[in-house]
Structure 1
Amino acid sequence: MTYKESDKTDASDTQHPIPVGAIGCFRDRLKDAMGTRAARVFSRESGLSEGAIRSYLSGETYPTLDRLEQIAQAAGVSAMWLAFGEEQQVQRVIEDDKYSYVPLYDARCSAGHGSWSEGARILTHLAFTTYSLRKQGLEPSKLSAIRVDGDSMEGLLSDGDTVLIDHSRNTLEGEAVYVIRLDDHLYAKRLQRQIGGGVAVISTNTAYQTMTVTRENLNDLEIVGRVVWAGGWM
């Protein structure tokens, strides 16, 4: 990805996405992210001017949302980490006037009984127009994304595809594709309610047998959210 270098003045403190409590540490995280790279080198990699980078490093100014994302991609870190710090690197959507940036988690599986994303890091943020999300009835703050692992949904979802999860829809509404946690692993599967109160966990790939979670064992099935969008390479 390439960026056009810009020397436009950054927005005021009330408009940039870094909260007051995290501003004091931003330049330290930026220095850590840059490593041994000089401001001149990093400015070329990020597409920002050397003056802008030096201003961020000195703490004189702070980046706007689009610049924060450019810095994060060039440094190979999460924009959320840059803005909020490791302790606040949790599910959170960044929004500006036009776009919602949804976190893509490195969460192909999840062990233990904490949050589904516990221990998962944010790889990057995916940009969707806020208008398009709301037109679909989606609340940006309730969304996140993960990558599909394996070929059990081949024909619908391929290994490595990205799916967008609506966490507000975490109960079985009807037959649809959901991200679930079962046996301490995350899966994207089609769920179907069964007579008697159980739930069928269906793979699109017929090489995989349908699993049934009985009514008595429904507590073992956690519905993380409904899949509302998928994308991948052709």
Structure 2
Amino acid sequence: MTYIESDESDDPTAKHPIPLGGIGCFKDRLKEIMSGAGARGFARASGLSEGAIRSYLSGETFPTLDRLAQIAQANNVDPMWLAFGVTSIIEDDIYAYVPLYDARCSAGDGAWNDRCKVLVQLGFTRYSLRKKGLSPSDLACLRVDGDSMTGLLEDGDTVMIDQSRNTLEGEGVYVVLLDDHLYAKRLQRQFDGSVLIISHNKEYQPMTVPKDRLAELQIVGRVVWAGGWV
């Protein structure tokens, strides 16, 4: 993410779509999400200039809608709360938002840790999640990379995982971390206690994790939903 040294679109003489007063105090909410971080580091993380952030903190200017959304998305907060101090009614009552991370399930390099960035929040109805017994706080989304699961999961598809289901509870598709690589694979427990890692694409041979190496197989979560372009 890049940043620039000035923000002409945040000129104090420009008419902004949201009044500077708002509900409550925007600059106080901005300070709250900064959690003591300096203006320079926070600006870099948000993809804005340090000058713009300092201007917002002083109350001299207010971000335009696109920059407000950019700050909110970079810091995983509700833009309605950031702007006005209120939470979207639609988010509370109808929709739950599940983060889509920039980590990808692949047969190559991958990682699943706190350094992963949230690209966007995907909206799902709370009713549909509740019907499946899913808790929004346990869910995360990431994208499939490669063709090892083609026919079931295609390259670029998005999968939702339930991170509370991080043990092998029965045959199913899981996202696993093995040898510092992420995989979306079907797991199947064998009679000898080993686990078979199966690709849907028959061109890929199954991998066996012996019983004495199961500690090296980290299950991130069970895949509970998948979607992609037709």
Give the TM bin, normalised by the shorter chain. Answer: 0.5 to 0.7
CA distance 1:117–1:23, shift in 2 (3 Å): closer
Question: Out of 170, 179, 182, which is 1:186 matched to?
Answer: 182
Other-structure match for 2:11: none
1:162 aligned onto 2:155: no
Unmatched 5+ stretches in structure 2: 1-15, 80-90
- 1:121-160 to structure 2, matched below 5 A, reads 121-160=117-156
With normalisation by structure 2, the TM-score equals 0.67
Other-structure match for 1:71: 69
CA distance 1:174–1:61, shift in 2 (3 Å): farther
- Secondary structure (helix, strand or coil) at the match of 1:96 reads helix
Contact 2:195-2:211 at 8 Å conserved across structures: yes
Deviating more after overlay: 168-177 vs 123-132? 123-132
Offset at residue 185 of structure 1 (A): 0.2
Question: Out of 205, 214, 220, which is 1:224 matched to?
Answer: 220
Letter in 2 for 1:134: R
What's the CA shift string for 1:68-117, capped at 9, x where partnerless? 99712xx795242898xxxxxxxxxxx63332221111112435xxxx32
Offset at residue 57 of structure 1 (A): 6.3
Letter in 1 for 2:119: L
Offset at residue 144 of structure 1 (A): 0.6
Identity among equivalent positions (%) equals 53
- Determine the C-alpha separation between the residues in 2 that align with 1:205 and 1:100: 33
1:211 aligned onto 2:211: no
What's the CA shift string for 1:163-215, capped at 9, x where partnerless? 00100000111110000011110000000010110100000000000111111
Offset at residue 34 of structure 1 (A): 4.2
- 1:13-28 to structure 2, matched below 5 A, reads 20=32, 22=34
- Secondary structure (helix, strand or coil) at the match of 1:107 reads strand
- Secondary structure (helix, strand or coil) at the match of 1:217 reads helix
- Determine the C-alpha separation between the residues in 2 that align with 1:105 and 1:141: 14
Other-structure match for 2:110: 110
Alpha-carbon RMSD: 4.0
**Runs of 4+ in structure 1 over 6 Å off:** 23-28, 60-63, 67-70
Other-structure match for 1:200: 196
CA distance 1:130–1:228, shift in 2 (3 Å): same
CA distance 1:134–1:61, shift in 2 (3 Å): farther
Other-structure match for 1:46: none
The count of corresponding residues between Structure 1 and Structure 2 is 194
CA distance 1:135–1:60, shift in 2 (3 Å): farther
CA distance 1:136–1:62, shift in 2 (3 Å): farther
- Secondary structure (helix, strand or coil) at the match of 2:130 reads helix
Letter in 2 for 1:187: Y
Letter in 1 for 2:115: G
Contact 2:31-2:57 at 8 Å conserved across structures: no
- Determine the C-alpha separation between the residues in 2 that align with 1:175 and 1:209: 17
Contact 2:144-2:155 at 8 Å conserved across structures: yes
Unmatched 5+ stretches in structure 1: 39-54, 84-94
Letter in 2 for 1:110: G
With normalisation by structure 1, the TM-score equals 0.66
Letter in 1 for 2:110: S
CA distance 1:12–1:226, shift in 2 (3 Å): farther
- Secondary structure (helix, strand or coil) at the match of 1:134 reads helix
